[in-house]
Amino acid sequence: MKKYLGLLIFVVWWGSLGWAAEADLGGLWKNTAMGIGQSAIIVSQEGADLHVAGYGVWAGGGAGVWHGKGKIEGARVKLPLNYTKLPKPGFDPKVELDLEISADAKTLSGTWKNSLDRKGPVKFVKVLAQAAPKVATPAEVPAAEGPATETDKKEESATP
């Protein structure tokens, strides 16, 4: 019996390593840390590689802007960040996040640590995508999506 229980625990543990790497982390995440308002990151994901850009407003300071590249490692995300706009004088521009991916991949929680050895808790919650916008006329369709009709295609090809 103990042999089967040990095998079951191993299978569950081994399987948990795979789901995190398969997790879809791409999208908008809200930072729920105290003392930081309007804080969010946008995550772009290619396999286990992550690219992020973020923005937040600090209490007693101002707006901060950052970016970074990280990697999913098992059920965790290691994410070094570089601030390109500091929210306060003396703010350390180098920060690393060590985050755990929740089982449903809707929460990233863990710690931040800067190069001055200061650290604290952090938690991001995935923002659900809104419904696609409704358009009343073809003119409202964003031009970046390309021509909407055959007439548009002809007009576009005739334009020098």
Task: Decide which of 37 and 73 is more confident.
Answer: 73
Express each pLDDT in 54-84 by its tens digit: 999 988 899 999 999 999 999 999 999 999 9
Please give the helix or strand (H or E) that residue 89 lies within, else none. Answer: none
Domain boundaries along the sequence of the chain: 25-126
Residue 149 in this model has a pLDDT that exceeds 70 = no
Separation between Cα atoms, residue 143 and residue 89, nearest integer Å: 42
| The CATH number fitting domain 25-126, selected from 3.40.50.1370, 2.40.128.120, 2.60.40.2380, 2.60.40.10 | 2.40.128.120
Cα-to-chain-centroid distance, residue 124: 8
Model confidence over 1-27: pLDDT tens digits? 555 545 445 444 444 444 445 789 999
Cα-Cα-Cα-Cα dihedral of 149, 151, 157, 160, to 10°? -120
> Would the pLDDT of 29 be above 70?
yes
C-beta of residue 152 within 8 angstroms of C-beta of residue 137: no
Distance of CA 27 to the CA centre of its chain: 6
